[in-house]
Amino acid sequence: MLDSAEIIALCRAQHGDPYAVLGMHTDADGKLWVRSLQPGARSVAVLEAKTGRQLAVLEHRQIEGVEGFFEGFIPRRRNSFPYRLRIEWESGVQETDDPYRFWTVLGEMDVWLLAEGSHLRPFERLGAHLCEIDGVAGTAFAVWAPDAERVSVVGDFNTWDGRRHPMRLRRECGVWEIFLPGVGAGACYKFEIRTRGGHLLPLKADPYGFQAEMRPSTASIVCPLPAPVEPSTIPAGDQLDAPMSIYEVHLSSWRRPEGGGYPDWQHLAETLVPYVVELGFTHLELLPITEHPFDGSWGYQPLGLYAPTARYGPPAGFRDFVRACHAAGLRVIVDWVPAHFPTDEHGLARFDGNALYEHADPREGMHQDWGTYIYNYGRREVSNYLIGNALFWIERYGVDGLRVDAVASMLYRDYSRSEGQWIPNVFGGRENLEAVAFVRRVNEVLGQEHPGASTHAEESTAWPMVSRPPEMGGLGFHYKWNMGWMHDVLDYMTKDPVHRKYHHNQLSFGMMYAFTEN
């Protein structure tokens, strides 16, 4: 029988290796034991999965005031076999497969690729994935939290109780995993994380969650990974000698519904798409549509990079919207924000108790202008998270291009900082070499995997060769956003005509640099 110290650790959700003790195990005498943690249960019995026959009733061991731990041996059995649990609750009886009878979720190759930060599509392994293991349907969960002492999946399927489903740590890559039988699409979930110092963090949403609750709720939702989308067959129009006319729109502000609230994807497909086509535009650019907690940010402070915002409906609606754009001859660009993320406690900030996605030193890791965290581009797992996200929107939703926001803030270590508030690079300069390498890598990967996709840099400084290939020393973007049009020309047009003759320089200044970039 399990010793008291391990039982107490399990019941207090402090055990670091639950798979070593929960589930089915053979002891030194060859006896086959089953152990299960079910806080609040009246009784737990073991059933043979194939026949449904009851084989044993587990003993409820209560030690030093903790409860919910059940264990017992299976008579006349020596070898492991598929089994189910019959759990009696106050509200009724439940039959379920035991999560701890299933082996690993991640394959060895996935583990090594994730460990070295070279998995091009980490979203195919991390997050919540509907799947079937040994003929049993459920959801496989995996989350990167290398400095955590213990991680549990909590959700509406286990009363948000972190004791119910503690995960297994794959120490090679710092990823925690578990397969939960019976958990299906639509289930709400988060991760409960205990730090190495024993501190319980606020519940965290899934960094790879494919769907999220409507704000102000913040849970992730189990959702099928969208199937790959065939590349658009619309002529690119992105060659440098082809005309390009982009309609930029914040969806929440465009023709607000009469009753208030937000338009859904179907309504936008029926109204926005024909409007833009009629005006003669070739491209539709959407301000960020990734999940974000604060309406006032217009999506530029995102927390769910893999989830289309719930404001406009379910993720499948966005796929249909992109398909409608393509059917009408429009190519779709989405604003992409890899420059920073907000500090909301349910997000990436101090995800496992330490600076994981961000820099620990605020001189590197905190934006002065926006009060947000800066990604640690030099950490391979972090850059891999972002590169995979760029591929995700093109491959799984069919978008044709990414407009990368706030590139200037990424390129300079002293961006909006006074002397002494920033850390020079290894050569003593102000350039953020890790961010430069990340930007080049994103553009290289997209160019290799999807040559028809375009990237556009919103970059407002004199950084050279923003729209030149990395092999030439450039950043690799197809285009640099025309800030002279965005600011100077539009500002000129707002002035009273009688005053414009004093401001013609706003029209001519852009010509000084217009031909050094695409």
pLDDT tens-digit map of 338-359: 999 999 999 999 999 999 999 9
Strand, coil or helix: what is 301?
Answer: coil
Determine the pLDDT at residue 235: 64
Catalytic residue (one of 335, 400, 405, 488): 405
User: Average pLDDT of 214-228?
Assistant: 96
Q: Residue 435's pLDDT band (boundaries 50, 70, 90)? A: very high
458 is catalytic: yes
User: Mean pLDDT, to the nearest integer, of 452-460?
Assistant: 92
Residue ranges per structural domain of the chain? 4-98, 108-221, 246-481
Q: Rounded mean pLDDT of the chain?
A: 92
Contact between 351 and 207 (Cβ < 8 Å): yes
Nearest-5° Cα angle at 387, 203 to 186: 40
CA distance 457 to 480: 5
* Ramachandran bin of 225, using left for φ above 0, alpha for ψ from -120 to 50, beta for the remaining angles: beta
Q: Report residue 483's pLDDT band, with 50, 70 and 90 as the boundaries.
A: confident
Mean of the pLDDT values across residues 312-321? 96
pLDDT of residue 237: 52
- 261 pLDDT above the threshold of 60: yes
Q: Which CATH number fits domain 108-221: 1.10.3720.10, 2.130.10.10, 2.60.40.10, 3.30.1330.10?
A: 2.60.40.10
In this predicted structure, what is the pLDDT of residue 496? 96
Instruction: Quote the tokens at residue 315.
Output: 């993720």
CATH number for 246-481 (one of 2.30.30.90, 1.10.3720.10, 3.90.650.10, 3.20.20.80): it is 3.20.20.80
pLDDT of 485 above 90: no
Split at pLDDT 50, 70, 90, the class of 260 is confident
State yes or no: pLDDT of 236 exceeds 70: no
Catalytic residue among 97, 206, 352, 458: 458
Cα three-residue angle 152-153-159, rounded to 5 degrees: 110
Which CATH architecture fits 4-98?
Sandwich (2.60)
What's the mean pLDDT in 208-221? Answer: 96
Active site residue 405: yes
Report yes or no: 224 and 130 within 8 Å, Cβ to Cβ: yes
